[in-house]
Structure 1
Amino acid sequence: MRRMGRDRRGVSAIEFALIVPALILLYVGTVEIGNALTVYRRTAQVAATAADLTAQVRAVTKDDIEDIQAAASSILTPYSTDPLKIVLSSVVADDENNGKVDWSCASKGGARANNSSYNVPAGLTEPDSSVIVAEIKYTFTPLLGLTTIFSPGSFDMTRTFYTRPRRSMKVTKTDNGC
């Protein structure tokens, strides 16, 4: 028994076996946080691109909106675009600078209702002006799908971007489809 108590030949292997799970967990956590931050940054770029492309024209159709949403969502490559929802809206300020939705289209789910009120942050509109609003929602799920105590599971990333029309006072929608 004494001789076995003094034997230290397997100590390194036991220490390695105890430390490896912690190192693997640390590595996987770092990768998942890096992916989440990358997707979060790219959702901001998707919102800015969608609003900017819409604001560059005087009028849009359903097909134009679909093209804009497809172009903006390509920014997420190589990440999946399945959990991405893009809502593009034109908000027009009335004489008292209260915003109302002129038109709205969503890539998935429901868009904003026409003539519904929309609170635009102060200073973005003037009476009788408009602003293009791009609202992005991305449901991020970690690549490894760890939904235990080590991961919150999936969570929503939302971004909103505002821009003024460039070639006219407002971007009109020339058809009724979305």
Structure 2
Amino acid sequence: MENRPLHKDSVRKEQSIKVGALPRLRRFVEDRRGVGAIEFAIVAPLLIMAYVSAFEISVAVTVSRKINRASATVSDLLTQNQTTNKATLDTMKTVTKTVIAPFSQDGYSLKITGIAVAADGKATVAWSRDQNEQRPYATGLVVTLPSTLEAKSTFIVRTELTVPYTLLSMMPSLASSFNKINLSKTSYFRQRTGDKITCSDC
């Protein structure tokens, strides 16, 4: 059977379709409309997480510093005199609240202990008081002091302050028991004058 040549119009039409398809394909590949929106959708959650994390870390560091200062302030105040009493010790919770402000100390724990250190380095509890106006440690209880604290024949006031801190404070609706951590600080200060600090009614 004899092969007939294609009609000229059909050949031109087929060639034009092929030629026209290449620019359209090129435009499709090079089209960048909507790419910015997609990139933003991918990056935005990461940026938000980074911002929230930075905010939470900065707030937690600020609270931790205030707790350190509050603990040290209590020990510092009590070591300025040679005597104290229950009423004075009970006012220390107001001191910590003032130092920690504007942050809350709800659910906090405050233990103030007078520690007598003998010439041989043995440390025992002379008196103690907590935020509930109770005695957290028995008188005469042996205390282990930090190895870095070389103390003999002296008297030390130890202040233990623990304050609960809730993470995701900028999003309280997401906060739960798993978001809570305890920030704590224990301060040791020696007596300023004399050889001990007595509590008249402890």
TM over 0.5: yes
Q: 1:28-107 maps to which residues of 2 (within 5 A)?
A: 28-107=52-131
Please say if 1:161 is aligned against 2:161: no
Secondary structure of the residue aligned to 1:79 is coil
Name the structure 2 match of 1:121.
146
**Matched residue count:** 171
Residue of structure 1 in register with 2:18 after alignment: none
Counterpart-to-counterpart distance in 1, 2:38 and 2:146:
60
Aligned position for 1:13: 37
* The structure with more helix, counted as a fraction of residues: 2
- Is this contact kept in 1: 2:105–2:164, CA < 8 A? no
Task: Give the Cα separation in 2 of the matches to 1:31 and 1:85.
Answer: 26
For residue 94 of structure 1, report the CA deviation from its aligned partner.
2.9
Q: Deviations over 1:49-76 (max 9, x none)?
A: 0100111122222221122231133111
- Aligned AA for 2:190? R
Cα displacement (A) at 1:43: 1.4
Choose 1 or 2 for highest CA Rg.
2
Asked if the contact 2:83–2:198 (Cα under 8 Å) also holds between the matched residues in 1, the reply is yes
Name the Cα RMSD after superposition. 2.5
Structure 2 residue 198 is matched with structure 1 residue 172: yes
Partner of 1:135: 160
Residues 83, 140 of structure 1: 8 Å contact kept: no
Give the deviation of 1:112 after TM superposition.
2.1
Determine if contact 1:133/1:163 at 8 Å carries over to the other structure.
yes
Q: Which amino acid aligns with 2:141?
A: S
SS in 1 for 2:63: helix
Output the amino acid matched with 1:111.
P
Task: Give 5+ residue unaligned stretches, structure 2.
Answer: 1-23
CA 1:110–1:173: 2 relative to 1, 3 Å: closer
Between the two proteins, what is the percent identity of the paired residues? 27
Looking at structure 1, the residues matched to 119 and 54 of structure 2 have their Cα atoms a distance apart, in angstroms, of 51
Distance 1:130 1:173 in 2: 12
